[in-house]
Amino acid sequence: MRETPRGGQQPPDRPAWDEPVLDVAQLLLDRQIIDVDGLPVAKVDDLELACPPGGGPPVVTAILYGPAALGPRIGGRLGAWWVAVGRRFRPVSDVAAPSIPFDAVAELSTTRLRLSVPVEDMAADKFSDWLREKVVFRLPWGRR
Amino acid sequence: MRLSALLGCTVRDRDGVRVGVVHDVRLVADGPAYGSGRPSYRLAALVCGPVAAFQRLGYGREDLTGPALLDWLFTLLARHSRLVEWDLVGGVTGSVLHLRVTRGELPLLRGRTTRAARRAARAERRR
């Protein structure tokens, strides 16, 4: 097994999925995502689907999270408001919903959704950095 | 395409009869492999019906049963819910999915709740 920066263990092989058949709203949406070290990353707000190049039904390509992903799911005025609020808290150059390639999922079962990469590699960390730099550091004693 | 674009869509059959609203999406891990070699999750079917609450509580799953009263209640609510294979979707107009088959040809979400299945179970018990 490969050692991760925080001492976690990354599985060397990729076995078959624990859930060969799953109902998304039941087992995937709103599920807490944890990284390879067990740290929380985000919650699953939406999924990105794409048709494979060879044709056939759409397949899941990425997990989307954040207000820009949850807003359309809520729908209506509340959903639009949620997206607008989320947009104001994000950098101008980064307006799309952050995504995690589904290939980065190491474990998916009824009880957990664990990634094979550390949280530092996720787009969520860019938001944290931006929030720290633009908001927290500007507060009195924010740099302590 | 986003999953949220499918959830909440109205489903109509070949004759224009309303089947229900998409409450859930069933994925099967047998699509083209990801870069890691694992099979991708393919969109296999849509769960459609008039009531979503039971589905979100897990009562759409065949392996989840009881307590008996809740099972009865949610089974009653789910009696019109159908499973629509993705291949049966003929086209999309706005937020309406048009099927290539009639409503009666679609399997019920919980097969064991069909009248035929209940009759078969009763016959089995009598034996």
Give percent of chain B with pLDDT exceeding 70.
75
Q: Is the pLDDT of residue A115 over 50?
A: yes
In the three-class reduction of DSSP (H, G, I as helix; E, B as strand; rest coil), residue A59 is classed as strand
The more confident residue out of B64 and A76 is A76
Give the residue from A21, A44, A48, A99 with the most B CB atoms within 10 Å of its CB, the best one to mutate.
A21
CA–CA dist B100, B88 (Å, integer): 6
> How distant is the alpha carbon of residue B5 from its chain centre?
17
Calpha distance A12→A25 (Å, rounded): 30
Q: Which of A132, A6, B59, A29 is nearest to A124 (CA)?
A: A132
* Residues ≥6 apart with Cβ < 8 Å to B127: none
Candidates A18, A19, A30, A47, partner chain B, best to mutate (most B CBs within 10 A)? A47
pLDDT confidence tier of residue A10, bands split at 50, 70 and 90 = low
Query: Is it the case that residue B118 has pLDDT exceeding 60?
Result: no
Structure tokens at A34: 């944890």
Is A46 close to B3, i.e. CB distance below 8 A?
yes
CA geometry: angle at A120 spanning A119 and A125, to 5°?
90
The predicted pLDDT at position A92 comes to: 58
Q: Hey, are the CB atoms on A49 and B60 less than 8 Å from each other?
A: no
Residue A61 has pLDDT above 90, yes or no: yes
The confidence band for B113, taking pLDDT boundaries of 50, 70 and 90, is very low
Q: Give residue-wise pLDDT tens across range A22-49.
A: 888 878 888 888 888 888 888 888 999 9
Average of per-residue pLDDT values in chain A: 78
Instruction: Note the pLDDT of residue A18.
Output: 77
What are A3's two structure tokens?
């050692």
Write out the two tokens for A30. 């709103």
Work out the pLDDT band at A96, boundaries 50, 70, 90: confident
Q: Please report the ipTM that was assigned to this predicted complex.
A: 0.73
* Chain A residues inside the 8 Å CB shell of B42: 56-59
Indicate the length of chain A as a whole number. Answer: 144
The token pair that represents B82 in the structure block: 């159908």
**CB contact, 8 Å: B27 with chain A?**
yes
pLDDT reading at B22 higher than 70: yes
User: Is A103 close to B35, i.e. CB distance below 8 A?
Assistant: yes
B43-84 pLDDT, tens digit each: 999 988 876 555 566 665 555 666 778 777 777 777 778 889
